[in-house]
Protein backbone atom coordinates (compact mmCIF):
# COMPACT_ATOMS: atom_id res chain seq x y z
CA UNK A 1 0.00 0.00 0.00
CA UNK A 2 1.43 3.34 -1.01
CA UNK A 3 0.51 6.82 -2.17
CA UNK A 4 3.70 7.02 -4.22
CA UNK A 5 3.24 8.47 -7.72
CA UNK A 6 -0.50 9.00 -7.26
CA UNK A 7 -1.63 12.27 -8.83
CA UNK A 8 -3.85 14.01 -6.29
CA UNK A 9 -5.80 17.24 -6.82
CA UNK A 10 -6.53 19.02 -3.53
CA UNK A 11 -8.92 21.96 -3.15
CA UNK A 12 -8.71 24.25 -0.16
CA UNK A 13 -4.98 23.56 -0.14
CA UNK A 14 -3.90 27.00 1.04
CA UNK A 15 -4.42 26.29 4.75
CA UNK A 16 -5.61 23.84 7.38
CA UNK A 17 -6.56 20.29 6.40
CA UNK A 18 -5.76 20.78 2.69
CA UNK A 19 -2.31 22.19 3.39
CA UNK A 20 -1.48 19.46 5.92
CA UNK A 21 -2.66 16.77 3.48
CA UNK A 22 -0.63 18.23 0.63
CA UNK A 23 2.53 18.16 2.74
CA UNK A 24 1.98 14.65 4.08
CA UNK A 25 1.00 13.10 0.75
CA UNK A 26 3.88 14.79 -1.10
CA UNK A 27 6.35 13.65 1.56
CA UNK A 28 5.27 10.07 0.75
CA UNK A 29 5.81 10.48 -2.99
CA UNK A 30 2.39 11.62 -4.22
CA UNK A 31 2.24 14.31 -6.92
CA UNK A 32 -0.02 17.01 -5.58
CA UNK A 33 -1.96 19.61 -7.57
CA UNK A 34 -3.12 22.41 -5.32
CA UNK A 35 -6.07 24.76 -5.66
CA UNK A 36 -7.45 27.64 -3.58
CA UNK A 37 -7.92 31.40 -4.01
CA UNK A 38 -4.91 32.75 -2.06
CA UNK A 39 -2.04 32.54 -4.53
CA UNK A 40 0.71 33.60 -2.11
CA UNK A 41 -0.13 30.73 0.25
CA UNK A 42 -0.19 28.19 -2.59
CA UNK A 43 3.10 29.44 -4.04
CA UNK A 44 4.81 29.22 -0.63
CA UNK A 45 3.44 25.72 -0.07
CA UNK A 46 4.63 24.45 -3.45
CA UNK A 47 8.08 25.92 -2.73
CA UNK A 48 8.18 24.22 0.67
CA UNK A 49 7.11 20.83 -0.76
CA UNK A 50 9.73 21.06 -3.53
CA UNK A 51 12.41 22.07 -1.03
CA UNK A 52 11.73 18.78 0.75
CA UNK A 53 12.07 16.83 -2.51
CA UNK A 54 8.34 16.54 -3.26
CA UNK A 55 6.42 17.24 -6.46
CA UNK A 56 3.70 19.90 -6.47
CA UNK A 57 2.06 22.49 -8.67
CA UNK A 58 -0.71 24.98 -8.01
CA UNK A 59 -3.36 26.97 -9.80
CA UNK A 60 -5.50 29.73 -8.32
CA UNK A 61 -8.92 28.10 -8.10
CA UNK A 62 -12.33 29.25 -6.96
CA UNK A 63 -14.35 26.06 -6.47
CA UNK A 64 -17.59 27.90 -7.15
CA UNK A 65 -16.45 28.24 -10.79
CA UNK A 66 -16.77 24.98 -12.78
CA UNK A 67 -14.15 26.13 -15.30
CA UNK A 68 -11.59 26.64 -12.51
CA UNK A 69 -11.94 23.00 -11.47
CA UNK A 70 -11.65 21.82 -15.06
CA UNK A 71 -8.47 23.89 -15.43
CA UNK A 72 -7.05 22.45 -12.19
CA UNK A 73 -7.64 18.89 -13.39
CA UNK A 74 -6.12 19.78 -16.78
CA UNK A 75 -3.04 21.08 -14.97
CA UNK A 76 -2.73 17.71 -13.22
CA UNK A 77 -2.91 15.86 -16.52
CA UNK A 78 -0.50 18.19 -18.33
CA UNK A 79 2.05 18.19 -15.53
CA UNK A 80 1.88 14.63 -14.27
CA UNK A 81 0.21 12.73 -17.12
CA UNK A 82 -3.07 11.83 -15.43
CA UNK A 83 -5.23 12.08 -12.33
CA UNK A 84 -5.92 9.43 -9.69
CA UNK A 85 -7.61 11.30 -6.84
CA UNK A 86 -9.53 14.49 -6.18
CA UNK A 87 -9.74 15.67 -2.58
CA UNK A 88 -12.74 18.04 -2.43
CA UNK A 89 -11.79 19.84 0.73
CA UNK A 90 -12.44 23.58 0.26
CA UNK A 91 -15.08 24.84 2.66
CA UNK A 92 -16.37 27.71 4.75
CA UNK A 93 -18.26 27.64 8.05
CA UNK A 94 -20.00 30.93 8.86
CA UNK A 95 -22.36 29.32 11.38
CA UNK A 96 -25.26 31.20 12.99
CA UNK A 97 -28.80 30.45 14.16
CA UNK A 98 -31.33 30.32 11.33
CA UNK A 99 -33.27 33.12 13.09
CA UNK A 100 -30.36 35.49 12.37
CA UNK A 101 -31.30 35.17 8.66
CA UNK A 102 -27.78 35.56 7.35
CA UNK A 103 -29.02 34.58 3.93
CA UNK A 104 -25.89 35.73 2.08
CA UNK A 105 -23.85 33.37 4.22
CA UNK A 106 -26.33 30.54 3.57
CA UNK A 107 -25.87 31.06 -0.16
CA UNK A 108 -22.08 31.22 0.17
CA UNK A 109 -21.96 27.94 2.10
CA UNK A 110 -24.13 26.21 -0.49
CA UNK A 111 -21.93 27.61 -3.28
CA UNK A 112 -18.61 26.53 -1.76
CA UNK A 113 -19.43 23.47 0.36
CA UNK A 114 -21.94 21.81 -1.95
CA UNK A 115 -21.67 23.27 -5.46
CA UNK A 116 -17.88 23.43 -5.06
CA UNK A 117 -17.83 19.66 -4.46
CA UNK A 118 -20.17 19.05 -7.41
CA UNK A 119 -17.85 21.13 -9.60
CA UNK A 120 -14.94 18.95 -8.50
CA UNK A 121 -16.90 15.78 -9.22
CA UNK A 122 -17.91 17.01 -12.67
CA UNK A 123 -14.32 17.95 -13.50
CA UNK A 124 -12.91 14.46 -12.81
CA UNK A 125 -15.80 12.22 -13.81
CA UNK A 126 -15.10 12.01 -17.59
CA UNK A 127 -11.50 10.87 -16.98
CA UNK A 128 -12.44 8.54 -14.14
CA UNK A 129 -15.15 6.85 -16.23
CA UNK A 130 -12.84 6.54 -19.25
CA UNK A 131 -9.93 5.10 -17.30
CA UNK A 132 -12.18 3.01 -15.00
CA UNK A 133 -10.15 4.21 -12.05
CA UNK A 134 -10.37 7.15 -9.69
CA UNK A 135 -10.98 8.23 -6.13
CA UNK A 136 -13.08 11.10 -4.78
CA UNK A 137 -12.44 12.12 -1.18
CA UNK A 138 -14.61 14.85 0.31
CA UNK A 139 -14.40 16.67 3.61
CA UNK A 140 -17.84 16.58 5.16
CA UNK A 141 -17.95 17.14 8.95
CA UNK A 142 -19.42 15.69 12.12
CA UNK A 143 -22.09 18.27 11.27
CA UNK A 144 -22.82 16.02 8.27
CA UNK A 145 -23.57 13.10 10.60
CA UNK A 146 -25.70 14.76 13.26
CA UNK A 147 -27.49 18.05 13.79
CA UNK A 148 -26.08 20.88 15.87
CA UNK A 149 -28.03 24.02 16.84
CA UNK A 150 -26.36 26.90 15.04
CA UNK A 151 -25.15 24.70 12.16
CA UNK A 152 -28.38 24.51 10.14
CA UNK A 153 -27.08 25.47 6.71
CA UNK A 154 -23.48 24.37 7.25
CA UNK A 155 -24.79 20.98 8.38
CA UNK A 156 -27.17 20.84 5.43
CA UNK A 157 -24.25 21.22 3.01
CA UNK A 158 -22.24 18.59 4.86
CA UNK A 159 -25.16 16.09 4.99
CA UNK A 160 -25.58 16.72 1.26
CA UNK A 161 -21.99 15.87 0.30
CA UNK A 162 -22.15 12.75 2.46
CA UNK A 163 -25.13 11.59 0.42
CA UNK A 164 -23.40 12.51 -2.80
CA UNK A 165 -20.29 10.45 -2.03
CA UNK A 166 -22.33 7.39 -1.11
CA UNK A 167 -24.48 7.63 -4.24
CA UNK A 168 -21.43 8.01 -6.51
CA UNK A 169 -19.96 4.90 -4.86
CA UNK A 170 -23.14 2.88 -5.40
CA UNK A 171 -23.61 4.03 -9.00
CA UNK A 172 -19.98 3.31 -9.79
CA UNK A 173 -20.44 -0.26 -8.55
CA UNK A 174 -23.52 -0.62 -10.79
CA UNK A 175 -21.76 0.94 -13.77
CA UNK A 176 -18.44 -0.92 -13.23
CA UNK A 177 -16.40 2.27 -13.33
CA UNK A 178 -14.27 1.50 -10.24
CA UNK A 179 -14.66 4.97 -8.76
CA UNK A 180 -14.01 4.97 -5.04
CA UNK A 181 -15.43 7.57 -2.67
CA UNK A 182 -14.59 8.53 0.89
CA UNK A 183 -16.30 11.02 3.21
CA UNK A 184 -14.36 12.55 6.08
CA UNK A 185 -16.18 13.65 9.22
CA UNK A 186 -13.73 15.71 11.29
CA UNK A 187 -14.74 17.29 14.61
CA UNK A 188 -12.70 20.16 16.13
CA UNK A 189 -9.53 20.60 14.08
CA UNK A 190 -7.49 23.76 14.66
CA UNK A 191 -7.36 25.57 11.30
CA UNK A 192 -8.44 28.95 9.95
CA UNK A 193 -12.04 27.76 9.54
CA UNK A 194 -13.42 29.79 12.45
CA UNK A 195 -12.27 33.00 10.72
CA UNK A 196 -15.32 32.70 8.46
CA UNK A 197 -17.80 33.06 11.38
CA UNK A 198 -19.36 36.53 11.67
CA UNK A 199 -21.99 35.76 14.34
CA UNK A 200 -20.43 36.93 17.62
CA UNK A 201 -22.02 34.28 19.86
CA UNK A 202 -21.32 31.46 17.44
CA UNK A 203 -17.70 32.54 17.16
CA UNK A 204 -17.27 32.76 20.92
CA UNK A 205 -18.69 29.28 21.47
CA UNK A 206 -16.59 27.72 18.71
CA UNK A 207 -13.41 29.50 19.85
CA UNK A 208 -13.90 28.12 23.33
CA UNK A 209 -14.44 24.56 22.05
CA UNK A 210 -11.48 24.62 19.67
CA UNK A 211 -9.13 26.21 22.21
CA UNK A 212 -9.99 23.58 24.79
CA UNK A 213 -9.99 20.40 22.68
CA UNK A 214 -8.91 21.11 19.07
CA UNK A 215 -6.21 19.00 17.42
CA UNK A 216 -3.91 19.71 14.48
CA UNK A 217 -4.97 19.05 10.86
CA UNK A 218 -2.27 16.36 10.45
CA UNK A 219 -4.78 14.03 12.10
CA UNK A 220 -7.05 14.33 9.06
CA UNK A 221 -4.12 14.26 6.62
CA UNK A 222 -3.05 10.84 7.94
CA UNK A 223 -6.54 9.49 7.34
CA UNK A 224 -6.52 10.87 3.77
CA UNK A 225 -3.21 9.08 3.23
CA UNK A 226 -4.71 5.84 4.53
CA UNK A 227 -7.69 6.08 2.15
CA UNK A 228 -5.48 6.86 -0.86
CA UNK A 229 -3.11 4.01 -0.03
CA UNK A 230 -5.78 1.31 -0.17
CA UNK A 231 -5.68 -1.04 -3.14
CA UNK A 232 -8.08 -0.38 -6.03
CA UNK A 233 -10.59 -3.02 -4.93
CA UNK A 234 -11.01 -1.53 -1.45
CA UNK A 235 -13.29 1.45 -0.81
CA UNK A 236 -13.02 3.08 2.61
CA UNK A 237 -16.39 4.81 2.74
CA UNK A 238 -16.17 6.99 5.84
CA UNK A 239 -13.87 8.28 8.58
CA UNK A 240 -14.90 10.14 11.73
CA UNK A 241 -12.03 11.99 13.40
CA UNK A 242 -12.55 13.40 16.89
CA UNK A 243 -10.06 14.91 19.29
CA UNK A 244 -9.76 12.43 22.16
CA UNK A 245 -10.79 15.20 24.56
CA UNK A 246 -13.95 16.18 22.65
CA UNK A 247 -17.18 14.73 24.06
P1 LIG B 1 -9.38 26.45 6.52
O2 LIG B 1 -10.16 27.71 6.63
O3 LIG B 1 -8.01 26.45 7.09
O4 LIG B 1 -9.32 25.96 5.02
C5 LIG B 1 -10.37 26.16 4.13
C6 LIG B 1 -9.81 26.12 2.73
O7 LIG B 1 -10.88 26.29 1.79
C8 LIG B 1 -8.80 27.21 2.47
O9 LIG B 1 -7.70 26.66 1.79
C10 LIG B 1 -9.55 28.18 1.57
O11 LIG B 1 -8.63 28.78 0.68
C12 LIG B 1 -10.46 27.23 0.82
N13 LIG B 1 -11.60 27.89 0.20
C14 LIG B 1 -12.61 28.57 0.78
N15 LIG B 1 -13.44 29.05 -0.15
C16 LIG B 1 -12.95 28.66 -1.36
C17 LIG B 1 -13.34 28.84 -2.70
N18 LIG B 1 -14.44 29.54 -3.03
N19 LIG B 1 -12.60 28.30 -3.66
C20 LIG B 1 -11.49 27.60 -3.37
N21 LIG B 1 -11.06 27.39 -2.13
C22 LIG B 1 -11.78 27.92 -1.13
O23 LIG B 1 -10.28 25.34 7.22
P24 LIG B 1 -10.20 23.74 7.26
O25 LIG B 1 -8.89 23.25 6.79
O26 LIG B 1 -10.67 23.36 8.58
O27 LIG B 1 -11.34 23.38 6.22
C28 LIG B 1 -11.22 22.36 5.26
C29 LIG B 1 -12.52 21.59 5.21
O30 LIG B 1 -12.71 20.90 6.42
C31 LIG B 1 -13.78 22.43 5.01
O32 LIG B 1 -14.61 21.81 4.06
C33 LIG B 1 -14.44 22.40 6.38
O34 LIG B 1 -15.82 22.58 6.29
C35 LIG B 1 -14.05 21.01 6.83
N36 LIG B 1 -14.13 20.75 8.26
C37 LIG B 1 -13.28 21.38 9.13
C38 LIG B 1 -13.38 21.14 10.49
C39 LIG B 1 -12.53 21.85 11.47
O40 LIG B 1 -12.78 21.70 12.68
N41 LIG B 1 -11.54 22.60 11.08
C42 LIG B 1 -14.34 20.17 11.02
C43 LIG B 1 -15.15 19.54 10.01
C44 LIG B 1 -15.03 19.81 8.70
P45 LIG B 1 -8.73 30.26 0.07
O46 LIG B 1 -9.35 31.14 1.10
O47 LIG B 1 -7.29 30.58 -0.22
O48 LIG B 1 -9.54 30.10 -1.16
Q: In which band, very low, low, confident or very high, does the pLDDT at 1 lie, cut at 50, 70 and 90?
A: low
In a domain? residue 46: yes
Q: Can you tell me which atom of ligand 1 is nearest the CA of 38?
A: 47
Per the domain annotation, does 89 fall within a domain? Answer: yes
Region 118-127: mean pLDDT is 98
pLDDT more than 70, % of the chain: 100
Let me know if residue 205 belongs to a domain. Answer: yes
SS (H, E, C) the chain: CCCCCCEEEEECCCCHHHHHHHHHHHHCCCEEEEEECCHHHHHHHHHHHHHCCCEEEEEECCCCCHHHHHHHHHHHHHHHCCCCEEEECCCCCCCCCHHHCCHHHHHHHHHHHHHHHHHHHHHHHHHHHHHCCEEEEEECCHHHCCCCCCCHHHHHHHHHHHHHHHHHHHHHHHHCCCEEEEEEEECCECCCHHHHCCCHHHHHHHHHHHHHHCECCHHHHHHHHHHHHCCCCCCCCEEEECCCCCC
What does the pLDDT average to over 17-33?
98
66 in a structural domain? yes
Q: Report the domain count for the chain.
A: 1
85 within a domain of the structure (yes/no): yes
Say if 2 falls within a structural domain.
Answer: no
Average pLDDT of the chain?
Answer: 98
- Is 154 known to be catalytic? yes
Structural domain harbouring 83? 7-239
Residue 94 lies in a domain: yes
Residues contacting ligand 1 via CB (< 6 Å): 11-18, 36-38, 41, 61-64, 89-93, 112, 139, 141, 186, 188-189, 191-193, 217
- For ligand 1, atom 2, the nearest C-alpha belongs to 193
Which pLDDT score, from 0 to 100, does residue 10 have? 99
pTM assigned to the model: 0.99
Q: Is the pLDDT of residue 130 over 70?
A: yes
Share of the chain above pLDDT 90, in %: 100
For residue 40, tell me if it sits in a domain. yes
Give the model confidence (pLDDT) of 79-99 as tens digits: 999 999 999 999 999 999 999
At 38, which CATH number?
A: 3.40.50.720
Please give the average per-residue pLDDT across 38-49, as a whole number.
98
Given this model, what pLDDT does residue 191 score? 98
Amino acid sequence: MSVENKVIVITGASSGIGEASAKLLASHGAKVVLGARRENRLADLVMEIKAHGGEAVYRVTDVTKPTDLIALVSLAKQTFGGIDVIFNNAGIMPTSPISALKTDEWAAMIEVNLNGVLNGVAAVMPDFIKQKHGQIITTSSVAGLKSFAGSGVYGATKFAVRNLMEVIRMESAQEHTNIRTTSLYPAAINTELLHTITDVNAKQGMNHLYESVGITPDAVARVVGFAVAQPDDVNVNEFTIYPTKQG
